Chain A
Amino acid sequence: MAWLRSIFSRLRARLRGWARKRQGPDSGDITLNSGRIYILPNTQGIAFGFLLLAMLIGGLNYNNSLGLALAFLLAGLAVVTMHHCHRNLSRLRLRLGATGSAFAGHPAQFSVTLINDARAARFGLTLRQQSTSECIHLEPGEHQALSLTVNTSRRGWQSIDRFTVFSTFPLGLFHCWAWIHPDWRVLVYPRPAPPGLEPPAVETDTAGSADRRHGDADFSGLRNFRDGDSPRHIAWKAFARDESLVVRQYTGADVTTHVFDYDSLDQMTGEARISQLTRWILDADQRGHAYGLRLPEQVIGADLGPIHRERCLRALALL
């Protein structure tokens, strides 16, 4: 069986290559015309065919008219079904949607919207890449987004250059499908190292206080002086004005700034370093610390926020 399977898979690869060359790459809105919809009986369809054959031979042999009539009805049903199955995809509109990003080892998601412009419903639409998406029915005029998940293993760009949309409805006897060739690229971020190793000592750009509880970041108001308050927090202006001893009150954390250095992790291999840096970036981002990144040929200044995080992760992914 192994050799048979290898012949099949090679044949399929050839066929796909041919289809790709014929159809060209897809983007944006794709309307499936019949030239790119393929249909073949599936395993159940072949089983059904044998059933029909048995009925036909039996019916002919005994000249059993009702048996023959049923065999012919079921054969007709198969033919009708094939056309209904094809209709599920015919002139179906697909809109290639957003691609997410993912960390290596986690599935990346791709979104495809199926749009039914027709007056008749379409049934049993499913997408397949490595895995199979949900299977849906689309009423006339309806549209629905399906997501495809693709496993990622290595950091860097991962491209998805083919997926299948198919339906076996109504009777599951035929497999009707179309190949879509998107130019999807998903950036796979490095796999974060397990938490544990703390980043090196903090470099902070706010001068002075290392007082962790009363950071200097945000002035929130004034209150009466209590013993033990730092003299640096006394509001001298207010004191000068009305001779009351009040201190300035601050809330919030320090603006702590890390600069994560690739070279500081020289005891690790390259990939392990990248994983560790990824972990630190995620942790700092979660804690709201500003951070920068120093890579062999690139330096990213300290900053905060999703864009910055993405810029850093991208640099690591493509290192």
Chain B
Amino acid sequence: MTMTALPDSQTGAALADVLAALDEIILGKPRQLRLAIACVLARGHLLIEDIPGVGKTTLAHALAATLGLSYQRIQFTSDLLPADIIGVSIFDRESSSFQFHRGPVFAQLVLADEVNRATPKTQSALLEAMEENQVTADGVTHPLPEPFFVVATQNPTYQIGTFPLPESQLDRFLMRIELGYPDPAVEKTLLTGADRRDLVANLQPVMTPEQLTQWQQRVPNVPVTDALVAYVQEIIRYTRESAEFAAGLSPRAGIVLLRAAQAWALMAGHRGVLPEDVQAVAPSVIGHRLRPADEEAPQSSTEIGQYVIDNVAIP
């Protein structure tokens, strides 16, 4: 962002520190970083779709480290079972009862790496946990830690034996983003500089989980005027009425779009949500919730989202 409007003095600084720390690690991706933070603030989950090696894992790890969150990485494979994620009840001979052993999902930031390699059943175990913020095993409910944030990564190229997340499940993720190749200057730094993973290991938390929760609580309070609601409605209407899409946005999509825009406005320090905030988050929020009518048009979800934004007049 080259400009800030309506600065709100309280907010700017604290989040700026987080962003500054992350910018050190993840080079050349300020936009994606901010989207990730907005996603955390809006209590959503993040789906990163890109080829391996562009820094998806590093991003997740760095986020956890900067925000001071407990971190678990689950590598999804075809033989991964639901129990391997949520945990297992094991019979304890001493107490003569089953004891629940928590799975890796019990962390504040869970990186679900290459979710499309696991079977749909295993995927849905993770998705249910995300949805409900709790895990149920043998009839006992185990709450997940607070805050709870899932970063899932998926390889976009279709391969036999993989199960891309079904569309009906995609909207469990607040945002879907792509990282993309670094530009040449950044690439050079990456090649010559220190290993990013080492840098992550040395990262110091800038924020406590409690502080993060406070930030999250402020998001729904960012003011929204009727004029902005009208803009969001226009976006939804466009997707429903346009011939470009097989199906329009659901009412829930509208709600989460507004929530993400509020998070973005909070980060940008705006005193109210601006159309700019909606436009900043919309490609990542609505892209994966829309299905183009013509399946054969090669378009990424972000491009689809951007297309909508470019075509909806701000009322």
Contact = CB atoms under 8 A, between A and B. Distances in A.
Interface stretch (A38-46, A67-75, A216-224): A216-224
Interface residues of B, number: 32
Contact of A98 (B163, B167, B293): B293
Given A217-B121, A219-B81, A305 B242 contact: no
A229 to B, nearest CB: 15
A224 to B, nearest CB: 8
A306 B81 contact: no
Interface string B89-113: 1110100001000000000000000
B243 A219 contact: no
A218 B83 CA distance: 9
A111 interface: yes
B72 interface: no
Nearest to B239: A98
18 contacts: A96-B243, A97-B242, A99-B293, A113-B241, A143-B237, A182-B243, A218-B81, A218-B82, A219-B83, A221-B89, A222-B91, A222-B98, A224-B91, A303-B163, A304-B163, A305-B166, A310-B295, A311-B295
Nearest to A98: B243
B16 interface: no
Contacts of A28: 242-243
Interface stretch (A82-90, A238-246, A263-271, A272-280): A238-246
A246 B89 CA distance: 12
Interface string B221-253: 000000000000000010011111111100000
Interface in A211-241: 217-222, 224, 238
Contact of B167 (A143, A184, A238, A306): A306
Nearest to B94: A242
Given A255-B119, A305-B166, A305-B167, A98 B246 contact: yes
Given A98-B245, A221-B88, A307-B295, 5 more contacts: A28-B242, A221-B83, A221-B137, A222-B90, A242-B91
Interface of A: 27-28, 95-100, 111, 113, 143, 145, 182, 184, 217-222, 224, 238, 242, 244, 246, 252, 255, 301, 303-307, 310-311, 314
A238 B90 contact: yes
B160 interface: yes
Residue among B121, B137, B241 with most chain A CB within 10 A: B241
Nearest to B81: A219
A31 to B, nearest CB: 14
A98 B138 contact: no
Q: List the 5 closest pairs (A to B, CB-CB), nearest first.
A: A219-B81, A113-B241, A218-B121, A305-B166, A97-B241
Residue among B89, B90, B164, B247 with most chain A CB within 10 A: B90
B243 A242 contact: no
Contacts of B119: 217, 255
Nearest to B98: A222
A8 B121 CA distance: 63
A110 to B, nearest CB: 9
Given A217-B119, A252-B121, A310-B295, A98 B91 contact: no
Contacts of A97: 240-243
Contacts of A246: 91
A304 B82 CA distance: 19
Contacts of A27: 243
Contacts of B248: 98
Contacts of A111: 241
Nearest to B295: A310
A242 B93 contact: yes
A219 B160 contact: no
B120 interface: yes
A145 B91 contact: no
A27 B243 CA distance: 9
Nearest to A97: B241
Contact of B241 (A95, A252, A304, A306): A95
Contacts of B293: 98-99
Contact of B160 (A252, A255, A301, A311): A301
Contacts of B120: 304
Contacts of B91: 222, 224, 238, 242, 244, 246
B82 A220 contact: yes
Nearest to A113: B241
Nearest to A252: B121
B187 to A, nearest CB: 34
Nearest to A301: B160
Contacts of B88: 221-222
A98 B239 CA distance: 9
Nearest to A183: B243
Nearest to B84: A219
Nearest to A250: B81
Contacts of A218: 81-82, 121
Contacts of A95: 241-242
B101 to A, nearest CB: 11
A244 B93 contact: yes
A143 B293 CA distance: 22
Contacts of A306: 166-168
A218 B80 CA distance: 10
A221 B138 contact: yes
A145 B238 CA distance: 12
A220 B98 CA distance: 14
Contacts of B243: 27-28, 96-99, 182, 184
A220 B89 CA distance: 10
A252 B82 CA distance: 12
